Amino acid sequence: MLGLHQDEIDRRYMQDALELARKALAAEDVPVGALVVHEGRVIGRGYNQREKLHDPTAHAEMIALTAAAEYLGQWRLENCTLYATLEPCAMCAGALVLARMPRLVYAATDPKAGACGSLFEITQDPRLNHQVETIAGVLAGPAAELLRDFFQHRRALGEK
C-alpha cells in the first residue's frame, strides 16, 4: 500500500477485519473479526468461532494470532499489527503482550470487557515486559453497528 498514509492503511485493513466479523455473524456468533499484518501482508485471519467450536478461547484475535505465529514459524509476532473490530478482552490483550505484538488497531470499544483502555489497560501496562502501541476507534461506527444489531436480534429472540 505504497503511498498511503498510515491512517488510510489502517482503515483498509479494518475493512477486511469487518468482512471477517460478518463471517462470525453469518455463523450466529458475536461479530468480531481480526487479522494480523506483517510487513504489508496479511498472515493471520480470524473471526469469533466460540459457538461453532464450543471453545471459550475461540476469539477472533486468538485465531488470527495462532495463524500468524504458524505462518512465521515463531511465537514472537514482531513487525506485526493486529486489527480487531472490537477492543480485545483480557485474554486476547494478554496474548498480544505475550506475542510481543508491537501494534494493535481496533474499531469499537468494549465497556463491559475491553482490556485495552476501557476496563483495563493491559496492552499499555508498564509493569509488564512489553507494551503494545494501541490505536482505538478506526471504523468504530460500522463495527459498533454490527454488534448492536447482533445483540438486538438476540434480545428479540429472548436470548442474552
Tell me which residues are annotated as active site: 61
At which residue does the C-alpha cell 429472548 appear? 158
Q: What phi, psi does 73 have (nearest 5°)?
A: 75, 30
- Where do the DSSP E strands lie in 25-76? 33-38, 41-47
Residue 57: count other Cβ atoms within 10 Å of its Cβ.
13
69 residue type, one letter: A
Contact 60, 32 (CB under 8 A): yes
What is the DSSP code (8-state) at residue 119?
A: S
- Report H helices in 27-59: 50-53
